[in-house]
Amino acid sequence: MANSRFETLLQKFVKDTISPAEVHELGDLMSAAGSNEELDNFLASAYADRSLAVHEDFDGEKVREKILARLQFGEPQSALPPANDRRTFRLRWLAAACLAGLLGLAAWFWALQKNTGREGIDPRQVAMVASPQTNKAILTLADGSDVYLDSVNNGQLAIQGRVKLLKLGNGRIAYEYSSDTTDIVHTARAGMNTLTNPRGSEVIEMKLPDSTRVWLNVGSSLSYPVAFEHKERTVILKGEAYFEVAPDKTKPFRVKITDNTEIAVLGTHFNVNAYEDEPALMATLLEGAIQFKKDNKRQLLQPGQQVRSGKDGTIRLVPDADIQAVMAWKRGFFHFDKTDLPTIMRQMERWYDVTVEFQGKVTDMRFSGEISRTHDAFQVLKILEASGAHFKIEGKKIIVLPE
């Protein structure tokens, strides 16, 4: 690639040293004749460099389209009432992240800068709030004993009735029926177990004895029988989980959320968000069919649909749910789509195990985009700050400042 102003700006963009004025300049250059070829040459050269550890097929056209699209400023959403002065900002780190993925480098972020006259978070005053590095889940067995999964080795953890409990690699646990009769602990019933995944922990995956797979998000718990010995397979969820239910027409699978709310399935893939601090319970179907029940109300879901149950008792069907957004937590991302700041901060509270305090009027600003949950809280807040929000960090507390 020729030594040019365009190359210089691209390098600054990748290194996250580019200024707001230079971003405008880069956008103009990318729209000019010849810049497409220069960009292709730059990316192809980087792709060919084995030291950069690129693992994807290079498609210059797609990459160029993504970069051009994400170099644009976020615009106010016309669908939102102008009288409320609601603003939606598209977090423009994705252009740099696109380059980062191709070059095999770390993620960079650059978002819409605002001339607010505020300095933002002072890094010298910040105790780094890192993303979860281990799984801190706690397994409470039928006899009341606790197993802390981050402090035990892989292998067999317990035998309950005819079921063995195993810790596998990569933060997974599994229940398996024992084929060795010498292993069987003769008890009338194996009883209930509870898996608790606290705030500040990694997502944990579990396989139940019927081969149903469950991913449990942070700040959540799941109670379940060690062996499904009755006509129904019933589990109790608090928080959020994704289920891939093993089919068994003779034993329907039920997820109880409250005394009067449950989801009934035979074999399907679905996500349930039932955090108590969220304004609505949401169940989203990816595959198969489920029936949502609350009191005497019923709602049958088809793949791609979502049901939302408000605290006021209302039930609403969303016919075309945003599956990417729903499953972002399982993919390892925060996903925002015109998301308000209180909703974002609730997610951060659970993931980073912090407390959040709002000072003054809560901004009506809204955000769109994705951020990897591998980044520490300070990095995420800096992205939000660059888009116009303001924060202060005091230890494990995040203070949201007024505009």
At residue 15, the pLDDT reads: 55
| Separation CA 167–CA 156 (nearest Å) | 6
Residues 6+ apart with CB under 8 A from 194: 139, 140, 221, 222, 223, 224
At residue 208, the pLDDT reads: 94
At residue 234, the pLDDT reads: 94
Residue 6: in which H helix or E strand, if any?
helix 5-15
Two tokens at 52?
A: 């950069």
Two tokens at 54?
A: 């690129």
| Separation CA 156–CA 145 (nearest Å) | 16
Q: What is the mean pLDDT of residues 197-224?
A: 95
The angle, 0 to 180 degrees and rounded to 10, between the axes of the packed helices 60-70 and 93-103 is: 150
Residue pair 379/106 in contact (Cβ under 8 Å)? The answer is: no
Place of tokens 């933002």: 120
Strand partners, 293: 262, 298
What does pLDDT average to over the chain? 76
Residue pair 363/402 in contact (Cβ under 8 Å)? The answer is: yes
| Separation CA 324–CA 158 (nearest Å) | 37
- pLDDT single digits (tens) 70-127: 444 333 333 333 334 445 555 433 333 333 333 322 222 233 233 334 555 655 545 5
At residue 180, the pLDDT reads: 56
| Separation CA 108–CA 89 (nearest Å) | 18
Give me the percent of the chain exceeding a pLDDT of 70.
Answer: 67
Q: How many CB atoms within 10 Å of residue 175?
A: 22
At residue 27, the pLDDT reads: 67
Q: What is the mean pLDDT of residues 173-195?
A: 67
Binned at pLDDT 50, 70 and 90, residue 398 comes out as very high
Binned at pLDDT 50, 70 and 90, residue 43 comes out as low
Residue pair 286/273 in contact (Cβ under 8 Å)? The answer is: no
Binned at pLDDT 50, 70 and 90, residue 42 comes out as low
At residue 366, the pLDDT reads: 86
| Separation CA 111–CA 204 (nearest Å) | 32
Two tokens at 341?
A: 């700041």
Strand partners, 274: 239
Q: Checking phi first, is residue 144 left (phi over 0); if not, alpha (psi -120 to 50) or beta?
A: left
Residue pair 348/377 in contact (Cβ under 8 Å)? The answer is: yes
CATH numbers and ranges of domains, the chain: 1-72 (no CATH), 138-328 (2.60.120.1440), 332-400 (3.55.50.30)
Binned at pLDDT 50, 70 and 90, residue 152 comes out as confident
Residue bearing the bigger pLDDT, 45 or 26: 26
Binned at pLDDT 50, 70 and 90, residue 390 comes out as confident
Name the residue among 215, 277, 213 with its Cα closest to residue 247. 213
At residue 374, the pLDDT reads: 87
At residue 93, the pLDDT reads: 38
At residue 169, the pLDDT reads: 81
- pLDDT single digits (tens) 282-324: 999 999 999 999 988 999 999 999 999 998 889 999 999 999 9
118: helix, coil or strand? Answer: coil
Residue pair 291/300 in contact (Cβ under 8 Å)? The answer is: yes
At residue 106, the pLDDT reads: 26
**Segments of 39-131 assigned E as strands:** 88-90
3-state secondary structure 197-226: ECCCCCCEEEECCCCCEEEECCCEEEEEEC
- Please state the pTM of the whole predicted model: 0.71
Binned at pLDDT 50, 70 and 90, residue 47 comes out as very low
Binned at pLDDT 50, 70 and 90, residue 160 comes out as confident
